[in-house]
C-alpha cells in the first residue's frame, strides 16, 4: 500500500478525485472551491484596518481556511511519509535543454540551481522568484481567482469568465515555458 501511495497517480484516478471536490462542496454546504480567497480571509481576520476590501463577514468563510490548512497538512504528511524515493523523471530532450542553461540537478521537483538562497540575490533569481511571485499575485487578483478556482469550480459551474480565465492561464503558461523562460534562464 505504501508503495502505491509513493508513486505518481495516473490522471484517471487523480483527475476524478479532484473533480469530485466540486459536487461535494456544493452538496455539503453550497461552498465554492478556491484557494486564493483564503489569503483575503486571513488578511480580513488579522488586519482589522479600515480597508473596504477586507470589511466583510470573514467568519462565514472560515471553512476555507480549514480546507487550505488541510491541503498544507496533507502535503506535509505526503512529504514526510510518502515521498517517492526515485528521482523525478525528466524527458531526455528537456534534460538536455536544461543542461544548456546550467540546470543539472533533477532529483527534486524544483531544480536546486534555480530555487536557493544564493540564486535569490542574482538577476535571474529576482526575476523568477520576486517578479514571478508578484505576477502570480497580481494575476490572481486581476482574474478574480486562481487557476484552481476558475479551472475546477468555475468551468464546472459553466461560468464564461472562468473559461476565459482558464484559456488565458494556459496561453500564458505556453508563452512563459516556450518564449520567456529560455530568455530568463539565459540571464
pLDDT tens figures, 89-122: 888 998 898 888 888 887 777 787 778 888 888 8
Domain count, the chain: 1
Give the Å distances, CA to CA, from 17 to 11, 13, 130: 10, 6, 33
pLDDT confidence of residue 174 = 94
Q: Is residue 115 part of a domain?
A: no
Confidence of residue 175 (pLDDT cuts 50, 70, 90): very high
Residues in CB range of 152: below 8 A, 6 or more apart: 18, 19, 21, 22, 33
Classify residue 28: in a domain, yes or no: yes
Asked if residue 119 is part of any domain, the answer here is no
- Whether the Cβ atoms of residue 101 and residue 185 lie closer than 8 Å to each other: yes
DSSP conformational letter for 130: I
User: Is the predicted pLDDT of residue 48 greater than 90, yes or no?
Assistant: no
Cβ neighbours of residue 88 closer than 8 Å, sequence gap 6 or more: 106, 107, 108, 109
Rounded to an integer, what distance in angstroms lies between the CA atom of residue 25 and that of residue 46? Answer: 26
Cell numbers for 52, please give them.
Answer: 473596504
List, for residues 142-157, the tens digit of each pLDDT value: 888 888 888 888 888 8
Q: Is residue 44 part of a domain?
A: yes
* Cell numbers standing for residue 144: 478574480
Averaged pLDDT for residues 38-49: 82
Note whether residue 131 is domain-resident.
no
Q: Quote the mean pLDDT of the chain.
A: 85
Q: Tell me, yes or no, if the pTM score tops 0.75.
A: no
Which residue range is the domain that position 61 belongs to?
A: 1-86
Residue with the three cell numbers 481567482: 145
Question: Does residue 6 carry a pLDDT above 80?
Answer: no
Q: Is residue 51 part of a domain?
A: yes
Work out the pLDDT band at 70, boundaries 50, 70, 90: very high
Q: What values do phi and psi take at 65, rounded to 5?
A: -65, -40
Q: Does residue 71 belong to any structural domain of this protein?
A: yes
Tell me if 164 is assigned to some domain. no
Per the CB < 8 A criterion, the answer to whether 38 and 65 are in contact is: yes
CA-to-CA distance for 65 and 56, rounded, in angstroms? 15
Query: Furthest-apart CA pair in the chain: how many Å?
Result: 54
Q: How large is the average pLDDT for residues 9-16?
A: 87
Of 27, 29, 30, 60, nearest to 44 by C-alpha is 60
CA atoms within 13 A on the CB side of 124: 18
The answer to which of 8-12, 31-35, 134-138 has the lowest mean pLDDT is 31-35
* Rounded CA separation 109/132 (Å): 18
Amino acid at each position: 500500500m505504501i508503495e502505491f501511495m509513493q508513486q505518481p497517480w495516473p490522471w484517471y484516478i487523480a483527475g476524478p478525485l479532484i473533480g469530485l471536490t466540486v459536487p461535494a462542496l456544493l452538496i455539503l454546504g453550497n461552498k465554492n472551491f478556491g484557494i486564493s480567497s483564503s489569503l483575503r480571509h486571513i488578511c480580513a481576520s488579522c488586519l482589522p484596518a479600515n480597508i473596504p476590501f477586507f470589511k466583510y463577514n470573514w467568519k462565514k468563510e472560515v471553512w476555507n481556511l480549514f480546507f487550505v490548512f488541510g491541503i498544507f497538512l496533507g502535503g506535509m504528511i505526503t512529504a514526510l511519509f510518502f515521498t517517492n524515493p526515485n528521482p523525478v523523471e525528466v524527458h531526455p530532450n528537456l534534460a538536455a535543454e536544461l543542461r544548456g542553461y546550467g540546470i543539472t540537478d533533477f532529483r527534486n521537483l524544483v531544480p536546486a540551481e534555480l530555487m536557493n538562497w544564493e540564486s535569490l540575490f542574482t538577476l535571474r533569481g529576482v526575476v523568477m522568484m520576486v517578479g514571478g511571485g508578484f505576477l502570480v499575485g497580481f494575476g490572481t487578483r486581476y482574474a478574480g481567482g486562481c487557476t484552481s478556482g476558475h479551472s475546477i469550480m468555475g468551468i464546472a459551474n459553466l461560468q464564461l469568465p472562468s473559461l476565459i480565465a482558464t484559456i488565458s492561464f494556459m496561453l500564458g503558461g505556453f508563452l512563459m515555458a516556450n518564449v520567456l523562460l529560455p530568455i530568463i534562464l539565459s540571464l
